[in-house]
Amino acid sequence: MKLLFVGTNPENTGAATHFVTLAKAMSEAGHAVEGVVSRRGLIGEGFEAAHIPIHYSAFRNVYDVRGYTTVLRRVRAFKPDWLVGNFGKEYWPLIACGRLTHTPVALFRHRTPRMSKLSEYGIPRMAQRFIAVSNYARNAYLAWGVPPELVSISYNPVDTAQFRPDPELRALVRRELGIADDAIVLGYVGRMHGGKGVTTLMRAANEAMAVNDKLHVLWVGNGIEENMLHEMAASSGYAQRHHFTGWVADTERYCNTMSFLAFPSVEPETFGRVAIEAQACAAPVLGSNIGGIPETLQDKVTGFLIEPGNVAAWRDAIISLCDPARRDAMGQAARAFAIEHFGNAAVARDFEALLNRPHHSRPHGHHAHA
């Protein structure tokens, strides 16, 4: 199968990571893949690192002639079986290019906020595949009035060769951070703002630190509440056991360092890629029972689902995973779970099957795992 991925947003987001990893997964599975990408940002860098042929261009808006010219030129030369898009500003241009060249179009939707009435009606009906990244997101689109047969599910792939247990890297990063080898490291990866539940996690972690003197917290990311978290850590009495990295691109270094991960959002998440990345590194996950997060782990097997915003419940769950026997068993199950359901090979297999099925047959994807 030939696939032309078109993603010209110069951004560093989960959607961009999804786009790169899916393209890489399809290439590894033996499909011919090319990309039309921006010269700046994660997507271009990721395609280049994966040795996927790339052609630079951009869609500043739906009328940008440069983008159309590049895509149409590549379609005529490459003759792809599918155009694959990931970003809202490219939905209508790709549909137009697909119609002009008789090439089917597969479009991913990563967000649940509503589109314009025209886009909500037209895009799922005019694209040959309209794809949600979780069952939670799919249900949101059905609530818009999109017919169920038009919305498929394809979960985010995670490169489990990149995100894997690495004891040497774990020891190296802990030394860099000044964390003892035998410490228990609770990790957080993501933006730091109110909807992410970071203050709930800070309070719960501080209460758990009072119970277990080996517990540390590793904060990876930045955001508008970062300074507040620094202040809460400084006044907690456990400042030396809170470690802040700021924003980083290579999160696999830090996922490897963690004993387990917290995903404490108090507002719905469409999915939760970081939960899969952590599990691929054999780190169990504590996740809020909200939005698409329950689809990213197996409750009581690879981690625990917890009531959003409930400090006492989060404290108790953190203390529970300080038990090494429980944590190790869950970590082994987490790695197996990530490979089976979200590894490159599994997602490439399922995405190929999704593209090959008849257009109006019943949508399918992975089942929810909560």
- DSSP secondary structure string, 180-221? -TT-EEEEEES--SGGGTHHHHHHHHHHHHTT-TTEEEEEE-
Helix (H) or strand (E) run with residue 33 in it: strand 32-37
Given a cut of 90, whether residue 293 has pLDDT beyond it is: yes
Backbone phi, psi, residue 56, to 5°: -85, 135
Given a cut of 60, whether residue 219 has pLDDT beyond it is: yes
Given a cut of 50, whether residue 364 has pLDDT beyond it is: no
Helix (H) or strand (E) run with residue 37 in it: strand 32-37
* Average pLDDT over every residue of 272-297: 97
Backbone phi, psi, residue 83, to 5°: -95, 135
Question: Which stretches of 64-103 are assigned E, i.e. beta strand?
Answer: 82-85
What the block records as the tokens of 315 is: 């404290």
CATH number of 167-342: 3.40.50.2000
What the block records as the tokens of 75 is: 């379609």
Given a cut of 90, whether residue 346 has pLDDT beyond it is: yes
**Contacts (Cβ under 8 Å, ≥6 apart) of 275:** 261, 263, 285, 287, 293, 296, 297, 303
C-alpha span between 84 and 107 (Å, rounded): 6
Given a cut of 70, whether residue 368 has pLDDT beyond it is: no
From the list 184, 179, 112, the residue with the least C-alpha distance to 142 is 112
CATH 3.40.50.2000 domain extents, the chain? 2-157+343-356, 167-342
CATH number of 2-157+343-356: 3.40.50.2000
* Average pLDDT over every residue of 97-105: 97
C-alpha span between 6 and 35 (Å, rounded): 6
Given a cut of 70, whether residue 30 has pLDDT beyond it is: yes
Residue type, 242: H
Q: Are the CB atoms for 166 and 253 separated by under 8 Å?
A: no
